[in-house]
Chain A
């Protein structure tokens, strides 16, 4: 049953750009790409927040770092995705490792505050980079080049690349959750003291988890820079971290598809509500409240309940 649902969703996702073109829905191909990029970003936060139980409130910094790496390299004449995307991943991962090394010495609300503070620092660094547009940001003259005769300028091609990356990332997360490492970080979330008492260097595992989440966020940033053809400091602003956190909570904290469902829900709600009112956040807020109160497992939890029931 579950397998069939997955295959049906995959088939729809693959077919979408093919039917969108004759129907004149090109706009929605780009919109779907944006959803999938945010799904990747939210999933990477879910790795840290949901699986690892670390309430990081600075995730946008890692997304932004990845975006800036692609933007800056492009401005310096390096357009190849095979160079800039891995570098975006490495840079964001290294940044997350550094932030995590300091932040993970604290707990609870202090951890939230210190990750937020680091992210804001990085935001101001981006604002201060006058050579790369400062507050205005940086226009990308083109999308990254991938070779093989593929052109990311074509929205459908870009869509398929994003889809491929998202599927690969979700599959890797699925593997990770069942591997030794995933079992360890979930157990640390459940009872960190006991994990130490049975011989695990819990701090090290949390740091690796944090850096991994940051690295995947960097990949989503690389894609986002391409999607927008534009990078600016707003990508790193703390409200972006908040949006990612809302996606994770909406979709399902610690659920494999939590980030995906949350990104779909938040971006679609935003799109729908903003047609009617500029106060669309009010509507989103009400729905978020309802989810937190009545479905703490998020949309993924609701779907699972329906399947079992």
Chain B
């Protein structure tokens, strides 16, 4: 398989079970290069568990994950990040005691050489800080560099959350509910951010905000009880009877 595969991510027949609970039940999925692919589904459908398996935080029981033609099923979490597969978290996971700038320096540092350096002050590495500032500006946090991350407003913390993943320079970004808990204004900013990624990198977007999903997604997959029940362009998903029954109907009605 020397030729570049059309799909940046290909998931085949993924299974994961926790005791008696089947969290992932034969998921197959493909994310095309450059697209925003939304993954929707009711609470408890197994979306986050799937993201854990794609990112490498969890090992599947069975099945295969291929990233850009490479089988990464057994690859360590941090190694996947190095080859361009990064994720963000639904529950904000930042370095709360560190300054915003220091947060953002870390992912830049991770991809710029070894950190087994014990003597030279990191502060002397201007390139790291320049790049961190650039990403901070891109996610709308310019001017907040010196603030302790834990004291940022909720929306800003979410921007930093996504920014940390973005700063790893991914080719595929797994975004786990980036708009979680956001007000309309913050959501709008996040939608703009994700829309801006379109074309340059591929995105798998897990999101509950249907307005955001239908505005951003090139294709949508619907996960219910650990299975993908439908996958296709937004119009097709909107029209799909099974999806309406399982999920969309209740949301739209609500």
Taking CB atoms, residues of chain A closer than 8 Å to B96 are: 190-191
- In the complex with contacts A176-B119, A187-B98, A208-B116, A195-B106 CB distance below 8 A: yes
* Contact call A194/B164, Cβ cutoff below 8 A: yes
List chain A residues, Cβ under 8 A from B122: 178-180, 183
Which residue of the partner chain B has the closest CB to A197? B87
Pick the contact of A197 from B79, B89, B105, B111 — CB < 8 Å? B89
> A193–B58 Cα gap in the complex (Å)?
12
B248 within 8 A of A: no
In whole angstroms, how far apart are the Cα atoms of A180 and B110 in the complex?
A: 10
Q: Is the CB of A180 within 8 A of B117?
A: yes
List B residues 72-102 near A (Cβ within 8 Å). Answer: 76-79, 81-82, 86-87, 89, 93-98, 102
Query: Is B168 interfacial (CB-CB < 8 Å)?
Result: yes
Q: How far is the CB of B110 from chain A (nearest CB, A)?
A: 4
**What does the 1/0 interface line of B164-205 toward A look like (CB < 8 Å)?**
110110000000000000000000000000000000000000
A175 at the interface (CB under 8 A from B): yes
Residues A194 and B98 in contact, CB atoms below 8 Å apart:
no
Given A178-B121, A181-B115, A198-B168: A193 in contact with B98 (beta carbons within 8 A): no
- Contacts A178-B121, A180-B109, A190-B98 given: A200-B57 contact, CB under 8 Å? no
Whether B167 contacts A198 by the Cβ 8 Å rule is yes
Chain A residues bordering chain B, tally (CB within 8 A): 25
Residues 43-85 of chain B: 1 if any A CB is under 8 Å from the residue's CB, otherwise 0? 0000000000001010000000000000000001111011000
A220 to B79, CA, bound (A): 37
Report the bound CA distance from A205 to B78 in whole Å: 13
Decide yes or no whether B41 CB sits under 8 A from chain A.
Answer: no
Does residue B118 face the partner (Cβ distance < 8 Å to A)? yes
Using a CB-CB cutoff of 8 Å, which residues 151-206 of chain A contact chain B?
172, 175-176, 178-184, 187, 190-191, 193-202, 205
Is A193 a contact partner of B81 (Cβ separation < 8 A)?
no
A198 to chain B, nearest CB (A): 4
Tell me whether A190 and B82 are in contact (CB under 8 A).
no
Interface footprint category on B? 35 or more
B95 x A197 contact (CB < 8 A): no
B123 interface contact, C-beta 8 A: yes
Q: List chain A residues, Cβ under 8 A from B115.
A: 180-181, 183-184, 200, 205
Tell me if B107 is interfacial: C-beta within 8 Å of chain A. yes
**Count of A-B contacts judged by CB separation below 8 Å:** 99
Judge if B245 is at the interface, Cβ distance under 8 Å.
Answer: no
Q: Which chain A residue has the least Cβ–Cβ distance from B174?
A: A197
Q: Which of A4-61 contact B (CB under 8 A)?
A: none
Say whether, besides A176-B118, A181-B115, A193 and B57 are in contact (CB < 8 Å).
yes
Bound: A190/B87 CA distance, A: 19
With beta carbons under 8 angstroms apart, the residue of A175, A194, A195, A201 that contacts B121 is: A175
B215: CB under 8 A from chain A?
no
Q: Which residue of A lies closest to B87 (CB)?
A: A197
**Residues of chain A within 8 A of B82, CB atoms compared:** 199
Task: Report if A187-B95 is in contact (Cβ < 8 Å); known contacts: A179-B119, A179-B121, A199-B110.
Answer: yes
The chain A residue with its CB closest to the CB of B109 is: A180
A contact residues vs B (CB 8 Å cutoff): 172, 175-176, 178-184, 187, 190-191, 193-202, 205, 208
Q: A175-B119, A184-B109 given. 8 additional CB < 8 A pairs?
A: A191-B93, A193-B57, A196-B81, A197-B86, A197-B87, A198-B106, A198-B165, A199-B78
The 5 A-B residue pairs whose C-beta atoms are closest, nearest first, are A199-B81, A199-B110, A198-B107, A180-B115, A180-B117
